[in-house]
Amino acid sequence: MFIETHCHLDYLKAEPLEEIRKKIREAGILKVITIGVDPVNIDLVMDLSNAHDEIYFTQGIHPHDAKDATELEFEKIISRANMPKMVAVGEIGLDYHYNNSPAEIQRATFERQLQIACDQNLPVVIHTRDAEDDTKAILKNFSSSLKNKGVVHSFTSSLELAEFVLSEGFYIGFNGIITFKKAENVQEVVKIAPAERILFETDSPFLTPVPHRGKENAPFYLPFIAEKIAALKKIDLEDLKKQVFQNSLKCFPKLN
């Protein structure tokens, strides 16, 4: 059994949603979290979730889109926080690799949404790329107020940041990147991360795992990620799957 903790169902184009849902069930995936990232998409993921029992959703403004966030989006996040299937505030954070939004706006938007998560007692889904110092500094200010911490997803940062977020009580999400030949840095983080603090995700349609590189990614490729993590950590696959399933329920209490 699996829980797909991070994907973008509204972005998938290669197959009809009903076919994707069929393959998800066949892969043993019981629940799927589709992620909010921008002012338009936060409505789409909510509608997708409301239409299908196994699909849950988050609400948040991604750092790429921070420049487009208005008070209306923050009000939507707050107003939807009590919905049974809104499991987290996210995807939020910092991305200084692309800098699609100015850094100061990214920081302000990140902080505003962390405060919403604190106020609404929700976990967060964090994106961080080439922004380790600021990510750490901001999380230090909010971590003690976040009763349900959340996850740093698609982890590609340093061992130092991994150790910090683990020490603060966050989970770490791993996806198809760990199957890439040049991903030794991420594979080292997998090895040191306790099994009790790992989540499985695909981040589909991006980052398709080996052996399906070149195809659009989808949640039903999640088993390849689980197999790679078990191999890297040299632990039994079935034990890992059971542990990570429980981790997902703990990280996102509304999945229970």
| Cβ atoms 229, 218 nearer than 8 A | no
Domain ranges of the chain: 2-255
* Cα–Cα distance for residue pair 26/214, rounded to 1 Å: 22
What confidence tens digit (pLDDT) does each residue in 13-56 have?
999 999 999 999 999 999 999 999 999 999 999 999 999 999 99
Residue 109, classed as helix, strand or coil, is helix
The one-letter amino acid code at 136 reads K
Burial class for 108, CB neighbours closer than 10 Å (0-12, 13-18, 19+): middle
Q: Quick one: pLDDT band at residue 104, thresholds 50, 70, 90?
A: very high
Per-residue model confidence (pLDDT) at position 135: 98
* Cα–Cα distance for residue pair 58/79, rounded to 1 Å: 13
**How wide is the angle at C-alpha 219 spanned by C-alphas 24 and 194, nearest 5°?**
115
- Region 150-175: what's the mean pLDDT? 98
Residue 106, classed as helix, strand or coil, is helix
Share the mean pLDDT of the chain.
98
Report the run of H or E that residue 235 belongs to, with start and end: none
Per-residue model confidence (pLDDT) at position 25: 98
Q: Quick one: pLDDT band at residue 121, thresholds 50, 70, 90?
A: very high
2-255 topology per CATH: TIM Barrel (3.20.20)
Q: Name the percent of the chain lying above pLDDT 90.
A: 100
- Over 41-103, what HEC string results? HHHHHHHHHHHCCCEEEEECCCHHHHHHCCHHHHHHHHHHCCCCCEEEEEEEEEECCCCCCCH
CA distances from 14 to 36, 52, 179 (A): 20, 20, 22
Q: Quick one: pLDDT band at residue 162, thresholds 50, 70, 90?
A: very high
What confidence tens digit (pLDDT) does each residue in 62-102 have?
999 999 999 999 999 999 999 999 999 999 999 999 999 99
